[in-house]
Amino acid sequence: MKTKFYKYQGAGNDFVLVDNRDLSFNHQNPETIARICDRRFGVGGDGMMFLQLHDGFDFEMVYYNADGNPSSMCGNGGRCIVAFAKYLGVIGEETNFLAVDGPHYAKISESGDWVSLQMIDVDHIDRDGDAYVLNTGSPHYVRLATGLANKDVYHEGHAIRYNDTYRAEGININFVEPATDGYFVRTYERGVEDETYACGTGVTAVALAMALREGQTGHIVTPIKVLGGNLSICFDYEGAKFSHIFLEGPAVKVFEGFLEV
């Protein structure tokens, strides 16, 4: 069976997308998803998404990690599927859609390549030694670092992700270094099991953790540089709960083609 696919990227976080409103693609097959996401034997991507219909929403986002397994929320994936939905004519410049962690609101630029995605509220941040641990739709570990440009993120991230505390459920590992304007972040992602060029829920977790660390309150805007470009997180924090959290950045169609499934 031939299936039309689209490749999108958001700050270097890249995804294979399929319009599955007719439910013609049976995605309950981890091996097929993993093969498509393989960068040598498939299309290549950090994950694969299916745009489907769902009552009460403009669409549903069904997301799989590159290993073929269902994933928790992907922030840059969410921004890319919003751009995809606009490209397909499913939405205009605003949308309410359903993801694995619940409903999301997003707005998109008229040009269709800049998306602002509302993330879930966060009311709790744990500590693990000098690191911060929180869930922004996916679980994240945030640790300050120095010399981040030269850090061995793969091996250090892999060691934390597979330690006794996190091995069973998995966690995404974010290393963060203060920059002139905001922060520089590098992330090891579970499911991909490697460093990615960007992680939307990860930079969101970093922004919230750093606001807590710095004692910031009120309306906060945090610019973050990742390997694939620049993102921005804005949110409100009054000392108890982080709310009105928006992840903003580029979402661009790279190419399209057909898969033989």
Which residues lie closer than 8 Å to 26 by C-beta, 6 or more apart? none
CB atoms within 10 A of CB 151: 16
**H/E element holding 19?**
strand 13-19
Q: Is 74 a catalytic residue?
A: yes
Task: Pick the catalytic residue from 37, 80, 199, 234.
Answer: 199
Question: How many angstroms from the chain centroid is the CA of residue 175?
Answer: 16
Q: How far apart are CA 117 and CA 186, in angstroms?
A: 21
Q: Is 199 a catalytic residue?
A: yes
Taking CA atoms, 44 is separated from 8, 27, 35, 58, 126, in Å, by 11, 16, 8, 27, 35
Task: Pick the catalytic residue from 37, 74, 80, 234.
Answer: 74
Q: How far apart are CA 183 and CA 181, in angstroms?
A: 7
Which positions are catalytic? 74, 199
